[in-house]
Amino acid sequence: MSSDQAVHCVVVTPEKTELDVQCDALKLPMYDGELGILPGRAPMVGRLGYGLMKLKSSSGEQTWFVDGGFVQVTRDGVYVLTNRLLKPEQIDRQGAEEELRKATELVATSPEARAVKERALAQARGKLRISS
């Protein structure tokens, strides 16, 4: 990607390619913060968190909920592999609050159970952040 080009963004879930678009910039939720990507970004691979992905282009801004996964930035584009990609209006706030309540009540007595609980908490909190 040279600095005068748009960013080619491809988002894939286990079911299908959800997005294949050009944008001027995008922001992704990472497991440890946010990542902004502009044309010419250095190649990298990273672990996604649960939260809002924003794509900016001349036609405006588009947003989605990204359900974890991985991102790879190459010279040719940005490739997002995620479990689910949802528009914010597809997220039910009451459902997300219930998911958070259930995740909070999970008993974590082993490393595996702690990982399940932490993932459920992160997913529910990510949904709540963008459902307002």
> Does one domain contain both 82 and 98?
no
Residues 26-63 have pLDDT tens digits of 999 999 999 999 999 999 999 999 999 999 998 899 99
Residue 2 has pLDDT above 60, yes or no: no
> Does one domain contain both 16 and 69?
yes
Query: What is the pLDDT at residue 58?
Result: 87
**Does the reported pTM lie above 0.85?**
no
Residue 1 has pLDDT above 50, yes or no: no
Residue type, 53: M
Residues 3-14 have pLDDT tens digits of 458 999 999 999
Distance CA 94, CA 128 (A): 9
Residues 96-130 have pLDDT tens digits of 999 999 999 999 899 999 999 999 999 999 898 88
For residue 60, being part of any structural domain is answered with: yes
Residue 120: domain span:
91-130
For residue 2, being part of any structural domain is answered with: no
Long-range contacts of residues 20-25, Cβ cutoff 8 Å, at least 24 apart: 21/55, 21/57, 22/57, 23/55, 23/56, 23/57, 24/56, 24/57, 24/58, 25/55, 25/56
Other beta carbons less than 10 A from residue 23's beta carbon: 22
